[in-house]
Amino acid sequence: MAALDAGLAGRESQKRKAILFSIGLILIIALALGLGLGLTVGRKSDDDDKDEPPAPSPTASPPPRAKWKPAVGDKWYIMLQADLGIITTEDVKVIDLDLFDRSEEWINGLHKNGKKVICYFSAGSYEPWRPDAGDFKDEDIGAVMDGWPDEKWLRIGSKNVRKIMAKRIELAHQKGCDAVDPDNVDGFQNENGLGLTAEDSVAFVKFLSATAASYNLSIGLKNAGDIIPDVLDFVDFSVNEECVEYAECETFQAFIKAGKPVFHIEYPVIENTTEVGWSTTTVQKYCSHEGNAKGSEGFSTVLTTMELDGSIQYCD
Ligand SMILES: *[C@@H]1O[C@H](CO)[C@@H](O)[C@H](O)[C@H]1NC(C)=O
Ligand SMILES: *[C@@H]1O[C@H](CO)[C@@H](O)[C@H](O)[C@H]1NC(C)=O
């Protein structure tokens, strides 16, 4: 026992020495850095060195904000690719825009006009043009997405992928978004080349939800009809594409029953290119609650183009 105590005491004092040494080292480094910075700043002001990038201003964290809960029937507008300026249309309450492409000032502008902002990013696909694309590892990148030749499925259970997505959610918080719209969480319903399962998607959505919750951000479930019962309690709204086209709107009624909106998009073909927008017949087909649109009661529906270029047709 005594020997053990002595051993422990010895280790304790070694530890203390190590700590003191570390503190000393940190002080020396800090001093060196301080001097270095001082010299750099001095040289810059003297020589006006234009090659040096300006020092980044410290990113101030936005003030704490309560979580926004979207309501069933909220009118919305989605413009991922469009640069249409600030939407001021009175009855449109919610705007879904691209997290990376739109600035904090843009989002502020929408807030000043009383809008809530959902920030879109792809959580489950690799997009080579994004600023953080270099952070992904080759082993986490799977098959090319059907219909989106520039994107590939991601291994959503990967620690590294999750780290990148957590940073994207933090960026949404920094930019002042009210909610996030993480796309492509339904790899298991597609050829993904990574063997992704429904369980993988459930776990991933719960991870995204917990991360968003730490910033008081609302979060949507994009498509992924098969896992609604597993994750409904962890998300605040649905973003659905083409449930009328595929006659599956009833699947998403679970959201309406839970008091959560379904932000619903259809991409009808504009048959007559000499006319602006869609024909009355087309609008009827996608909006009336008969036929394929059965089960879309209460949804916040928009008709738009596949390019999400800002063309919008509402049902009312
Ligand atoms: C989240 O909301 C709670 C309650 O409204 C608040 O106390 C907290 O500071 C908020 N957190 C953030 C990160 O805004
Ligand atoms: C397309 O729209 C134009 C302008 O409204 C109309 O004159 C034309 O007949 C339409 N064509 C068809 C095939 O419906």
What confidence score (pLDDT) does residue 14 get? 43
Nearest CA to ligand 1 atom 14: 64
Which pLDDT band, with edges at 50, 70 and 90, does 237 fall under?
Answer: very high
What confidence score (pLDDT) does residue 274 get? 73
pLDDT digit string, tens, across residues 202-225:
999 999 999 999 999 999 999 999
Tokens encoding 281: 């017949």
Which pLDDT band, with edges at 50, 70 and 90, does 84 fall under?
Answer: low
What confidence score (pLDDT) does residue 21 get? 41
Which pLDDT band, with edges at 50, 70 and 90, does 261 fall under?
Answer: very high
Residues 6+ apart with CB under 8 A from 154: 124, 125, 126, 136, 140, 141, 142, 161, 184, 187, 194
Residue with tokens 């926004």: 68
Nearest CA to ligand 2 atom 12: 272
Average pLDDT of the segment spanning 249-273: 93
CA of 315 to the centre of ligand 2 (A): 22
Q: For 252, phi and psi rounded to 5 degrees?
A: -90, -5
Q: What distance in Å separates the CA atoms of residue 313 and residue 305, rounded to the nearest whole number?
A: 10
Residue 112: helix, strand or coil by DSSP? helix
In the structure, which protein residues have their CB atom closer than 6 angstroms to any atom of ligand 1?
Answer: 64-66, 215-216
Residue with tokens 């964290």: 61
Ligand nearest to the CA of 277: 2
What confidence score (pLDDT) does residue 189 get? 94
pLDDT digit string, tens, across residues 47-78:
344 445 445 444 677 889 999 999 999 999 98
Q: What distance in Å separates the CA atoms of residue 18 and residue 95, rounded to the nearest whole number?
A: 54
Residues 6+ apart with CB under 8 A from 175: 99, 102, 103, 104, 107, 119
- Say if residues 94 and 74 touch (Cβ distance below 8 Å): yes
**Single pTM value for the model:** 0.80
Average pLDDT of the segment spanning 84-110: 89
Q: In this model, does residue 200 exceed pLDDT 70?
A: yes
Element at 97 (helix H, strand E): strand 94-98
CA of 271 to the centre of ligand 2 (A): 10
Tokens encoding 274: 């000499």
pLDDT digit string, tens, across residues 145-160:
999 999 999 999 999 9
Nearest CA to ligand 1 atom 2: 66
CATH number assigned to the domain covering 76-314: 3.20.20.70
Which has the higher per-residue pLDDT, 37 or 71? 71
What confidence score (pLDDT) does residue 129 get? 97
Q: What is the Rg, in whole angstroms, of the alpha carbon atoms belonging to the chain?
A: 25
Average pLDDT of the segment spanning 228-251: 97
CA-nearest of 276, 69, 191, 85 to 97 is 85
Q: In this model, does residue 195 exceed pLDDT 70?
A: yes
Q: What distance in Å separates the CA atoms of residue 316 and residue 310, rounded to the nearest whole number?
A: 18
Domain segments of the chain as ranges: 2-50, 76-314
Could you tell me the CA-to-CA distances from 265 to 40, 77, 226 in Å, in that order? 54, 10, 18
- Residues across the chain: 316
Which has the higher per-residue pLDDT, 43 or 286? 286
Nearest CA to ligand 2 atom 13: 272
Q: In this model, does residue 91 exceed pLDDT 80?
A: yes
Q: In this model, does residue 31 exceed pLDDT 80?
A: no
